[in-house]
Copies of this chain bind each other. A is one copy, B any other.
Amino acid sequence: MTHAGRPSPAPLPGDLSLRHPVPSDHPRLQTALADWWGGLGGEAGALQRKLLVPRLFLQHFADTSFLVERPDGTLHAFLIGFLSRTDPATAYIHFVGVCPDGKRGGVGRALYERFFTLAHEAGRTRVRCITSPDNRASIAYHTRMGFHLEPGDHTDEHGTPVHTDYDGPGLDRVSFVREL
């Protein structure tokens, strides 16, 4: 697909604004990672999410990541992504969050589409990401966003292919890929 033939990303809803993150955004992201997932996984789940987004992503992969802020400067949503160095066809979305009040407002889709455009312009032909098998909302969301579930080593009770211990013992994951 040529760049000229690619539709522009959806506009951000309402009066939200978009920018790349900076390292000093890290404390706000940490608070979001603790609070925005509705307690998924309890304390261990919150700790796991927080440790998965160390400051290095804001220092070294800022230009492939986005923050969305409200007019008062508070955090509304974020996307942490990067371009694979090992696989020149692939861009990777590491973590996406939308504040609870912002769900179903289209901001998640706007963020993904901006990342798809960025990845395409960087010559990437596919985007990959993962999620936890117990995050049913995330699995449904990625399917709606055009991602395909990759085969795992078994299928769970919902028919979802799961990679057992993907990120370590007890850290099962579902793997997605979307062609650009």
Q: Give chain A's interface residues, CB within 8 Å of chain B.
A: 26-27, 30, 47-48, 50-52, 54-56, 59-64, 82-87, 90, 92, 94, 165-169
Q: How near does chain B come to A31, taking the closest CB pair, in angstroms?
A: 9
Interface SS majority for chain A:
mixed
Indicate how many identical chains form the complex: 2
A64 cross-chain contacts in B, Cβ below 8 A: 85
A to B CB contacts below 8 Å, 29 in the list: A26-B167, A26-B168, A27-B165, A27-B168, A30-B168, A30-B169, A47-B47, A47-B51, A48-B51, A50-B168, A51-B51, A51-B52, A51-B167, A51-B168, A54-B167, A55-B167, A56-B92, A56-B94, A59-B87, A59-B92, A60-B82, A60-B86, A60-B87, A60-B90, A63-B85, A63-B86, A64-B85, A82-B85, A83-B85
Which chain B residue has the least Cβ–Cβ distance from A90? B60
Chain B neighbourhood of A92, CB < 8 A: 56, 59-60
Q: Which 10 pairs, one residue from A and one from B, show the smallest C-beta to C-beta distance?
A: A60-B84, A51-B51, A62-B86, A30-B168, A54-B167, A50-B168, A60-B86, A55-B167, A63-B86, A61-B85
- Rounded to whole angstroms, the CA-CA distance of A84 and B58 in the bound complex is 10
